[in-house]
Structure 1
Amino acid sequence: MVVSHSRALAEAAVELARGMLPGRELAVGIAAGDVDGGLGTDATAIADAVTAVDGGDGVVVLMDLGSAVLSAETALEFLDDDQRARVVLSPAPLVEGLVGAAVVAASGASRDRVAAEALQGLAPKQAHLAG
């Protein structure tokens, strides 16, 4: 799931991730922008999006900037204990993390495996530029 201050940014990141999965479907929730369509985040919208995409196996949430993290943390308070326990707020980079997470999620990987893959999002770029 993607939490972003910008709906356009979130939709573009999801489109890029889905582009890596030709012919495969993957539920990726988006909670982005404020209620008026401007920039911002909304904890209630985040909680609603988590609920919409949680099929019982859990949800990995990737966020863009600092206050998106705060809004996602607040959103957890709106969920019941069981659902809250299935949510991982990932410190992974939004775009790179989302692409990797989407690929392994589409293969049926567990929530923990998806979260671990998201965390590796910067590794290829770091390795390339370090050399």
Structure 2
Amino acid sequence: MVLVSHSREVAESTARLARDLVGAGDPSPVVAAGGAEAGGIGTSSELVRRAVARADEGAGVVVLCDMGSAVLTVKTLLADTGPDALPEGVRIADAPFVEGAVATVVTASAGADLGMVLSAADDARTFRKL
């Protein structure tokens, strides 16, 4: 999974939380792609590309974005068919950032396939707290 946030700190702390909540065993890869490449608030296509490459183990990569331009950055990368295109099997999830990250990582770490992982992210989007 790749977490794309406007803030490096938000992406890194969410990744850490998701990994910690897996419990026993090795969590699936969770890579933060937060902030602008030179630091500060923003999003970076290059950071997303590198994060996808680090997270990709051949079974697909779920990308979760916090909002706005993070979503647009990933959608642009997914539409690219050139030499810098993201690999096959990269999917963007429509889920809340923290809850979606936890649901995705826990499900992937249990050995679920890409479809089931995306379904878990979708369930996180619809989970009501009251």
Category of TM-score, reference length = shorter chain: 0.7 to 0.9
**What is the correspondence of 1:1-131 to structure 2 with a 5 Å cutoff?**
1-25=2-26, 26-76=28-78, 77=80, 78-79=84-85, 83=87, 85-124=88-127, 126=128, 128-129=129-130
- TM-score normalized by the length of structure 1: 0.87
Counterparts of 1:48 and 1:14, CA distance in 2: 16
Contact 1:44–1:75, Cα closer than 8 Å, also in 2: no
Superposition CA RMSD, Å: 1.4
- TM-score normalized by the length of structure 2: 0.88
Larger CA deviation: 17-26 vs 93-102: 17-26
Q: 3-state SS of the aligned residue for 1:2? A: strand
Q: Which has the higher helix share?
A: 1
Identity among equivalent pairs (%): 39
Aligned length: 124
Shift of 1:8: 0.6
Counterparts of 1:36 and 1:123, CA distance in 2: 35
Counterparts of 1:43 and 1:61, CA distance in 2: 13
Shift of 1:123: 3.5
Segments of structure 1 that go 5 or more residues without pairing to the other structure are none
Q: 1:28 to 1:59 in 2, by over 3 A?
A: same
